[in-house]
Chains A and B, each alone.
Chain A
Amino acid sequence: MVNRVRMICQHISFVLLIYGGRLGIHLGSSLPCFACPFVNGCGGHCYLMILQRSRVGFQVTFDYLFSRAGLEVLWPFVVFLLFFVPLSKLWCGWLCPFCLFQDWITMIRKKLGIREMIFSRKTHIRLRPIKYILLVLLILIPLCIANFNLHSDWALPFCRICPAKPILPMFAGNFTHFHLDFTNTVTLCFTALSMVITGGLLVGIFFKERFFCLFCPMLGLMHIFRRLSPVRFEKDISGCTGCGNCERICPVDIHEVHLENEKKDVFMQNCMGCMHCVESCPGDNVLSFKWFGFTLFSSSRNYLSLKRKQ
Chain B
Amino acid sequence: MLYLKHFLIIIFFLFLTGLIEPASFNRLDLINCMPVHGHMLNSGPYRNKRIPNSPSFYFEHKAPLRETNGQVSQVFSLIFKDNDPDLMDVYFTEDRNPTIYKSSIKDGKVIIRAHRPTVFQLWAVARKGENTFIAHTNCMLFGNSKTKAERIIFFPKTPEAPYIEMQASKQPYWPQTGQEFIFRISSKTGFVRFALPTDLMVLSNNKVFALKSYDRLRYVYTPAHDQYLRKAGVRAGRNDILFTQLREADHCFNLTHTLYVHRSRTAFENYAIGAAVFGASCFFFIGWIILNRKRRTPW
Interface residues of A (CB under 8 A from B): 54-55, 60, 63-64, 67-69, 72, 115-118, 120, 151-153, 155, 166, 176, 178-192, 195-200, 202-204, 207, 244, 248
Contact = CB atoms under 8 A, between A and B. Distances in A.
Interface stretch (B92-100, B212-220, B268-276): B268-276
B285 A183 contact: no
Contacts of B170: none
28 contacts: A60-B66, A63-B68, A64-B66, A67-B68, A69-B70, A69-B145, A117-B294, A118-B297, A176-B271, A178-B274, A179-B274, A181-B269, A183-B268, A184-B18, A184-B230, A185-B18, A195-B278, A195-B281, A196-B277, A196-B281, A198-B281, A199-B279, A199-B282, A199-B284, A199-B285, A200-B285, A203-B286, A207-B293
A115 B43 CA distance: 63
B67 to A, nearest CB: 8
A191 B273 CA distance: 11
B269 A176 contact: yes
B296 A115 contact: yes
A214 to B, nearest CB: 15
A181 B268 contact: yes
A41 B66 CA distance: 29
B283 to A, nearest CB: 8
Contacts of B6: none
A203 B289 contact: yes
A199 B278 contact: yes
B282 A202 contact: yes
Q: What secondary structure prevails in chain A residues at the interface with B? A: helix
Range, interface on chain B: 35 or more
A168 to B, nearest CB: 15
A118 B17 contact: no
A225 B279 CA distance: 38
Contacts of B268: 181-183, 187
Given A68-B69, A199-B280, A199-B281, A184 B231 contact: yes
A72 B70 contact: yes
B205 to A, nearest CB: 18
B16 interface: yes
Contacts of B16: 185-186, 189-190
Contacts of B144: 55, 72
B12 interface: yes
B289 to A, nearest CB: 5
B18 A192 contact: no
Interface string B254-268: 000000000110001
Contacts, number: 128
A297 to B, nearest CB: 25
B293 A248 contact: no
A198 B280 CA distance: 11
A179 B269 contact: yes
Interface string B151-194: 00000000000000000000000000000000000000000000
Find the residue from A55, A118, A178, A248 having the highest chain B CB count within 10 A: A178
Given A152-B235, A195-B281, A204-B289, 12 more contacts: A55-B142, A64-B68, A115-B296, A166-B278, A176-B269, A178-B274, A179-B269, A180-B273, A198-B278, A199-B285, A200-B285, A204-B285
A185 B15 contact: yes
B281 A200 contact: yes
Nearest to A245: B299
A118 B281 contact: no
A198 B18 CA distance: 23
Given A115-B296, A189-B16, A200-B285, A178 B275 contact: yes
Contact of B25 (A55, A185, A244): A185
B233 interface: yes
Nearest to B20: A185
A153 B18 CA distance: 10
B234 interface: yes
A197 B285 CA distance: 10
Interface string B218-238: 000000000000110111100
